[in-house]
Amino acid sequence: MLHFNRCPHLKQIAQKCFPSIHVRTDKHVQLFLSRTLALAEFRKSWHSTHSLVGDKNIILMGPPGAGKTTVGRIIGQKLGCCVIDVDDDILEKTWNMSVSEKLQDVGNEQFLEEEGKAVLNFSTSGSVISLTGSNPMHDASMWHLKKNGIIVYLDVPLIDIVSRLKLMKIDRIIGQDGGTSMKDLLKFRRQYYKKWYDTRVFCESGASPEEVADKVLSAVKRYQDVDSETFVSTRHIWPKDDEQKVSTKFFSEAVIEGLASDGGLFVPEKEFPKLNCREWKSLVGATYIERAQILLEKCIHPADVPAARLGEMIETAYGENFACSKVAPVRHLSGNQFILELFHGPTGSFKDLSLQLMPHLFAHCIPPSCNYMILVATSGDTGSAVLNGFSRINKNDKQRIAVATFFPENGVSDFQKAQIIGSQKENGWAVGVKADFDFCQTAVKGIFRDSDFAGFLIVEYGTVLSSANSINWGRLLPQVVYHASAYLDLVSQGFISFGSPVDVCIPTGNFGNILAAVYAKMMGIPIRKFICASNQNHVLTDFIKTGHYDLRERKLAQTFSPAIDILKASNLERHLHLMADKNGKLITKLFNQLEEQHHFQIEKMLVKKLQQDFVADWCSEGECLAAIHSTYNTSGYILDPHTAVAKVVADRMQDKTCPVIVSSTAHYSKFAPAIMQALKIKEINHTSSSQLYLLSSYNALPPPHEALLERTKQQEKMEYQVCAANVNVMKNHVEKLIQNQFV
C-alpha cells in the first residue's frame, strides 16, 4: 500500500504509471487536481460563461487619446450591445458636472478617489465599457470591473498618443503636476495599464478605429477560446478518422513535460502568429523588454500564463540581469557584417536570453503541491545558465524545483567547467560525466523516456522529472525574440528600411538557435538565408548539403568551440517536422532509424525545400584562430571561438548583396586560452583570472564581462560529483539528489 502525504494529487499519475499498484491517500487529505486537470476545468468554465455577447463586459483600457470611446462605439454596433463611456455615462451623470470641472474643483488625489467610488457603485453585464485614462490607478474599482469583464489594453505608441492629445488640445491630464511632461506622465501611467489587462491590442501607427475594433474582437475571441492553441509531438501520427481525438497539450503542459511521451519534441499545432508590417514598424523604437512582451504574448495563451503576469516575468528576466541595457545589442563589425551580441547576461552566453525567463515560466506552470527535478545535459554554456536562472526564482519555488546538470567531464573549457561548478546553489548541482555531450544528451532523454523510473520517483518521492534544454519549448521560444529584435535594431539604426532582407549566420550544434531564427521569419521578419556554421563536427553542414544525416564512423572532435561539439542535433527534428508538413510518421521513422542505424536520408523534395532557405559550411581550428586574430587586428574586436566559426562561414557563403547578422553566442572571456593562442599572447600564468585580466587590459571590444571577472575571484573551490558514462549510474545520482533536496 502506497501513501501519498507529500503530494496527494500525484495519485492519478502514479496509477497511470503503475496500474497494478493500489494507491490511496489518507482520509483527511483531499486529492488536489493536477495542473492539467485544473486547466481543463478552467477551460470548461470559460466555455460555459464566456461569449462575445454574453454576461461578460468588454472593457477598453488605455491612456487618454488611445481611442477607447470611438473603438467602443464601433464594437457596440458590431455586437449589438450597450456601450458605456465612463466619463460621459457614469462620472458626469453622478456628479452633475463635467469631468474637467470636477478635477478643477477637488484636485488630483480626491478626483481619483471619487472617480473610483463612482465606478464601484456601477454594475452592468454584456456591455462594452470605455474606461477613463485614470481608472486603472484605483485598485478597488478595477477589481470590481475585472470580476465581470475582459480588460483589453489598447497599447498605442507613445509618440502617437502625444500627437493625438495635442490635436485634441488636451494639455493636462490627471496626475500631471507643473514640472511633469505629458510624455513622462504617460510613461508613468503604463505601469497601471500593465497591471490590469487580460489581453493587449497592439495599435500600430496608422491603424484606423475600425481596424483596432476588429483587433479587439479577435483578441477577445482568442482570450475566450482557451483550447485554440495546443501543441503536438513531432512524432504524433495524425488519425485518419477526423473524429478520433488528437493527443494535444497546452503550453503549460509542454513546458512542464519537456519531452513528449513518444520521444518527440513539442511543437505548436497551428502556425506561429504573424505581425503585419505596420506592427513591426511600431516596434522599431521599442525596448527589448517591450518587444519581448508583444511577441511572447502572441505565442503564449493567457489561460496558461496571464498576459500581465507574463509581462512581470519578462521585466524580471531582462530588467536588471543584463550588463547592457539593450539586452541583445547589434554592433556593426565591417562592410555588410553585423554582430548580434548575445553574451551580456549573467553567465556570458546566449543561453541567458532564454534561461533568465524560462524558470519563471516553469515555476508558474507547475502544480503548487509537488516537486520537480530538472535534468539538463550541457555542452558548456547551458549548465551554468540553467543553474543561474533557477537560482533566481523565489524562495518558495526553490523549495520545490531543483536542477541537476550533466556535463562532459573533459569536454568543456576549463573556465566553463569552473563556471558550471561555481554556479551550484541550494537548489542546483553539477555532475561531470566521463563521456561526450552526445552521450549526456542521449542519456538524459533516455531517463525521461523510462516510465518505470519516472513513476518510481513520483511514488517514492513525489517528484516529477522535466528538462530545461532547448528540447523544452519554454526554453526555445524566448530565443525568437532576439532574432526579431536584431532586425528591428538594424532598421532603428538606419542600416536598412523595414522589409529589406537580411541573412543570419549562426554557429550551430543542437539547431535550437537557428530554428528560433526560422520562427522569427514565420512571424514576419524578412530573413533571406539561414547560414548554418559548423566546426569540425560538421554533421549538420553535411546534412544540409546532401540530405544525409550520417553518424556512422563519425567521432566527436573536441574543438575550441565546445558548445557546438555536437553530433545529434535535437532541434533538427522540429525543423524536419515543419518541412515535412507535420508528418509525424515520417519523423518517427527517421529518428528511430538514426537511433538504430545511426543515419537517415531524406527524400530529394525535402532536400530541395531545405536548401531554399539554408546554406551551410564548416570551419577548421586553424581558420577559427585566424579569424579571431584578423578581426582583432582590423577592428579591435575580439570574437569568441563560436562567433569566429560563424564569421569564417559568413565570409565564405554570404554573397554580400544584403546585410548578414552573425550571432555572437558567448563572451570571449570564457575561452581565454584559445583567444590568447589566436592573438599570439604568451601565457605568463595559467590561472583563469590572470588570463582574463590580461585580456581585459587590451581595451578591446566588447568590453570585459564583469560577472565573468567576478567569477574568477571566487576563491572557494566548490565540490561536485563525477559519474561514469552509464545511464543507471546517472539515475542513481538523480535519486540521491532528490533525496537530499526533497526528503
Q: How many CB atoms lie within 10 A of CB 147?
A: 10
CA dist list (Å): 526 to 478, 489, 503, 641: 19, 14, 9, 28
pLDDT value, residue 509: 94
Spatial distance between the Cα atoms of 346 and 341, rounded to a whole number of angstroms: 13
What's the pLDDT band for 573 if we cut at 50, 70, 90? Answer: very high
pLDDT value, residue 715: 52
pLDDT value, residue 411: 86
Cell reading at 408: 562532459
CA dist list (Å): 454 to 14, 360, 446, 458, 715: 9, 23, 11, 6, 38
Instruction: Name the DSSP letter for residue 564.
Output: G
pLDDT value, residue 743: 82
What's the pLDDT band for 449 if we cut at 50, 70, 90? Answer: confident
Portions of the chain given CATH number 3.40.50.1100: 367-471+721-742
Cell reading at 69: 470611446
Q: How many CB atoms lie within 10 A of CB 215?
A: 20
Question: Which residue matches cell numbers 491603424?
Answer: 207
pLDDT digits (tens, 9 = 90+) for 148-177: 999 999 999 888 888 888 777 665 567 666
pLDDT beyond 90 at 132 = yes
For the chain, give the percent of residues with pLDDT over 90: 73
pLDDT beyond 80 at 11 = no
pLDDT value, residue 170: 63
Question: Which residue matches cell numbers 522589409?
Answer: 499
Spatial distance between the Cα atoms of 326 and 489, rounded to a whole number of angstroms: 10
pLDDT value, residue 717: 72
Q: Please compute the mean of the pLDDT values over residues 243-265 and round it to a whole number.
A: 87
pLDDT value, residue 692: 82
More confident residue, 85 or 30: 85
| Residue burial 309-343, b: 16+ Cβ < 10 Å; e: rest | ebbbbbebbbeebbbeeebbbbbebeebbbbbbbb
pLDDT value, residue 12: 47
Give the H/E segment covering residue 266. Answer: strand 266-268
More confident residue, 179 or 258: 258
More confident residue, 616 or 166: 616
**Cβ pair 36, 16 in contact under 8 A:** no
Cell reading at 713: 575571484
Spatial distance between the Cα atoms of 151 and 551, rounded to a whole number of angstroms: 54
What's the pLDDT band for 656 if we cut at 50, 70, 90? Answer: very high
pLDDT digits (tens, 9 = 90+) for 327-370: 999 999 999 999 999 999 999 999 999 999 999 999 999 988 78
Q: Kindly report the pTM of this predicted structure.
A: 0.90
Alpha-helical (H) ranges within 263-380 are 277-282, 288-299, 307-319, 352-355, 358-365
Alpha-carbon dihedral angle through residues 539, 374, 349, 727, given to the nearest 10 degrees: -40
pLDDT value, residue 169: 62
Please, what is the average pLDDT of the chain? Answer: 89
| Residue burial 607-646, b: 16+ Cβ < 10 Å; e: rest | bebbeeebbbbbbebebbbebbbebbeebebbbbbbbbbb
Region of 127 on the Ramachandran plot (φ > 0 left; ψ -120 to 50 alpha; else beta): beta
| Residue burial 105-136, b: 16+ Cβ < 10 Å; e: rest | eeeeeebbebbbebbeebebebbbbbbbbbbb
Q: Please compute the mean of the pLDDT values over residues 63-87 and round it to a whole number.
A: 95
**Cβ pair 181, 93 in contact under 8 A:** no
- Which CATH class for the 57-224 domain? alpha beta
- Which CATH class for the 367-471+721-742 domain? alpha beta
Portions of the chain given CATH number 3.40.50.300: 57-224
What's the pLDDT band for 447 if we cut at 50, 70, 90? Answer: very high
| Residue whose C-alpha is closest to residue 375's, from 362, 365, 360 | 362
38-52, 119-133, 265-279, 684-698: least confidently modelled range: 38-52
pLDDT beyond 60 at 7 = no
175-179, 258-262, 376-380, 547-551: least confidently modelled range: 175-179
pLDDT beyond 80 at 39 = no
Spatial distance between the Cα atoms of 295 and 273, rounded to a whole number of angstroms: 9
pLDDT beyond 80 at 389 = yes
**Cβ pair 619, 534 in contact under 8 A:** yes
Spatial distance between the Cα atoms of 638 and 14, rounded to a whole number of angstroms: 53
pLDDT value, residue 177: 61
pLDDT beyond 90 at 241 = no
